[in-house]
Amino acid sequence: MAEVKLLGAWGSPFSRRVEMALKLKGVEYEYIEEDLGNKSPLLLKYNPIHKKVPVLLHNGKPIAESLVILEYIDETWKTNPILPDDPYDKAMARFWAKFLDDTCMPAIWQIMWSKENQREKAIEEAIQHLKTLENELKDKRFFGGETIGLVDIAANFIGFWLGAVQEASGMELVNKERFPVLCRWIDEYVNCSVVKQNLPPRDKLIAFLQSRFSASSWKY
Amino acid sequence: MADEVVLLDLKVSPFAARVRIALEEKGISYESKVEDLSNKSSTLLKMNPVHKQIPVLIHNGRPICESMIIVQYIDEVWSHKSSLLPSDPCRRAHARFWADYIDKKIYPIGRNLWASEGEVKESSKKDLVECFKVLEEELGEKPYFGDESFGYIDLALVPFYTFFYTFEILGELSMVAEFPKLVGWGERCLQKETVSKSLSGQKEVYEIILQIKQKLGIQ
């Protein structure tokens, strides 16, 4: 019998991406919560290179890195595909997922951790990248078309965590005036059942983020 | 209808080299258009408006960007020969994991080593050595990272083999003493014509890096 386990963390968007994909495909799994301040021997054994969550264990074999895990899940369980069949469309989905992780998210975090005199520049850069993302969305319901796909799952940070970051810090990056299309997607996205089931409790996340921001004496 | 394949290219770029190797492995005829990154062509800006970077593969007029995404595309479209990724999902995940590791670590840390000075350079050297130790261990006794034959991980890493001489001189390292398996692997890969014709020589890469350093005003 196939055995699926997931080492994750409640507040991690990367971990929640994997849960979303597993739930979307109806895969039964055992969830193991990791305390990232006190990493378990299991995590260190199964992800010795990065020592991070999420790690998927399938029949004892570990797979790490959320986008790698998402592709593995899509190739292993064929219900509700998250990637298109066509190689070109697949390449486009991979491109935008990578853009989210390598360009968009770091730019947003850069705002939070940059010094006051560099903050405006950091905000401008993040806005530019979010506009690029919004342009890709255009009039599609989701990045994946009519149903959520790899890019929508990867964009969970934009869909939910960013709102919590904004509330916790007082910084406003995404609003309806600046990003009407992205906000429309966010509304659709968080109301989507498979997404709703795989989000951390908002208040708990905001409280956690607030403590992180105040610990670093970041002031907006 | 004949396929039209164009690569927006740059000889010394390890990322462009990955795509060249993949195209050679599959025996695909293509046109290489070399870019001048200080004066980017209108084609490049049109085909990769997001990053404005090479490599870009243009297949029948449609652009694909990001080297390993291009490699996967090539593998999926020209699936008739020389599979680059294995067919088993677990082995594919393993290959993607290591290509991701190489992307996140080798290029940026390596760049910090040759493009910076003082403390940043020293800590980059330490980090790079750690990364190569990890890769040396992952390779182990296998002839290739892909096991018996040249594959996805090998393709992702081999262009950085051409930077070994640069790392040795600028990092004061001996790659062959510290990473004998990696050096042996690199030489083995270069025995393949598809690889050797796609890569610059190590000394050539070093000369180009020195020119870049001069332009950037780095010692």
- What is chain B's pLDDT, residue by residue, as a tens digit (219 residues)? 578 999 999 999 999 999 999 999 999 999 999 999 999 999 999 999 999 999 999 999 999 999 999 999 999 999 998 999 999 999 999 999 999 999 999 999 999 998 888 899 999 999 999 999 999 999 999 999 988 999 999 999 999 999 999 999 999 999 999 999 999 999 999 999 999 999 999 999 999 999 989 988 887
pTM, two decimals, is 0.96
Q: Check residue A137 and give its pLDDT.
A: 95
Residue A94 to residue B66, Cβ atoms within 8 A: yes
Q: What is the pLDDT of residue A114?
A: 84
Tell me the chain B residues in contact with residue A63 when contact means C-beta distances shorter than 8 Å: 90, 93-94, 97
Asked, as a colleague might, if the bond just before A48 is cis with ω within 30 of 0, I would say no
Name the pairing type of β-strands A55-58 and A61-64. antiparallel
Tell me which chain B residues have a C-beta less than 8 angstroms from the C-beta of A68: 93, 96-97, 100
Residue of B nearest to A76 (CA): B89
Residues in chain A: 220
Who among B65, B76, B94 is closest to A95 (CB)? B65
For B202, residues 6+ apart whose C-beta sits below 8 A from its C-beta are B161, B162, B163, B164, B165, B166
| List of residues 6+ apart from B116 with CB closer than 8 A | B124, B218
- Determine the average pLDDT of the residues in A162-168: 93
What mean pLDDT, rounded, does chain A reach? 93
Tokens of B91: 């082995």
Distance, CA of A71 to chain centre: 15
Q: In what order do the strands lie in the sheet with B5-9?
A: B31-34, B5-9, B56-59, B62-65
Tell if the CB–CB gap between B76 and A90 is shorter than 8 Å: yes
Token pair, residue A133, equals: 């993302």
* Mean pLDDT, residues A166-192 taken together: 94
Q: Which of residues 3-42 of A touch B (CB under 8 A)?
A: none
Q: Which of A148, A147, A140, A135 is nearest to A179 (CA)?
A: A135
Nearest to A75 among B50, B72, B92 (CB): B92
Where residue A116 falls among pLDDT bands split at 50, 70, 90? Answer: confident
How many Cβ contacts (< 8 angstroms) between chains A and B?
A: 54
Any chain B CB within 8 A of the CB of A60?
Answer: no
Q: How far apart are CA B119 and CA B121, in angstroms?
A: 5
Place of tokens 């950085």: B160
Least CB–CB distance from B69: residue in A65, A76, A98: A98
What letter does residue B83 receive in the DSSP assignment? -
* pLDDT band for position A125 (cuts 50, 70, 90): very high
| Token reading at A64 | 């790490």
Distance CA B57, CA A107 (A): 27
The reply to whether residue B89 touches residue A65, judged by beta carbons under 8 angstroms, is no
Q: Tell me the shortest Cα–Cα distance from A58 to chain B, in angstroms.
A: 9
Residue A219 binned pLDDT confidence (cut-offs 50, 70, 90): low
Q: Identify the residue among B26, B52, B58, B100 best suited for mutation to test binding to A, counting A beta carbons within 10 A and taking the highest.
A: B100
Write the CB contacts of B81 (distance below 8 Å, at least 6 apart in sequence).
B26, B27
Binary contact (A49, B101; C-beta < 8 A):
yes
Of B200, B14, B214, the closest CA to residue B106 belongs to B14
Q: Assess contact for A158 and A186: CB atoms under 8 A.
A: yes
Q: What is d(CA B33, CA B47) in angstroms, rounded to the nearest whole number?
A: 13
Residues of B engaging A, defined by a Cβ cutoff of 8 Å: 50, 59, 62, 64-66, 69-70, 72-73, 76-77, 89-90, 92-94, 96-97, 100-101, 134
For residue A94, list chain B residues with Cβ-Cβ distance below 8 A.
Answer: 66, 69, 72
Position A218 confidence tier, pLDDT thresholds 50, 70, 90:
low
**Cα distances (Å, whole numbers) of residue B51 to A127, A154, B99, B107, B188:** 15, 19, 20, 17, 34
Q: How far apart are CA B56 and CA B8, in angstroms?
A: 5
Residues on chain A touching B77 (C-beta within 8 angstroms): 87
Asked whether the beta carbons of B64 and B57 are under 8 A apart, the reply is yes
Q: Is the pLDDT of residue A217 over 70?
A: no
CA distance A131 to chain B (A): 11
User: CA of A209, closest CA in chain B: separation in Å?
Assistant: 26
Q: Which of B50, B69, B134 faces A132 most closely, judged by CB atoms? A: B50
The CA distance from A70 to A23, in Å, is: 12
Name residue B60's amino acid.
N
Question: Is A65 at the interface with chain B, CB within 8 A?
Answer: yes
* H or E element in which residue B161 lies: helix B152-161
Instruction: Tell me the three state secondary structure of residue B109.
Output: helix
B26, B71, B96, best to mutate vs chain A, most A CBs in 10 Å:
B96
Q: Do B66 and A58 touch (CB under 8 A)?
A: no
A chain contacts of residue B100, beta-carbon cutoff 8 Å? 65, 67-68
As a whole number of angstroms, the distance between CA B177 and CA B185 comes to 14
| pLDDT tens digits along A37-93 | 999 999 999 999 999 999 999 999 999 999 999 999 999 999 999 999 999 999 999
Q: Read off the tokens for B115.
A: 């493009």
pLDDT at A2: 62
Report residue A25's pLDDT band, with 50, 70 and 90 as the boundaries.
very high
Tell how far CA A24 is from the center of its chain.
Answer: 15
Give the pLDDT of residue B217.
84
Task: Answer yes or no: is the ipTM higher than 0.90.
Answer: yes
Comparing CB atoms, the residue among A65, A76, A87 nearest residue B76 is A87
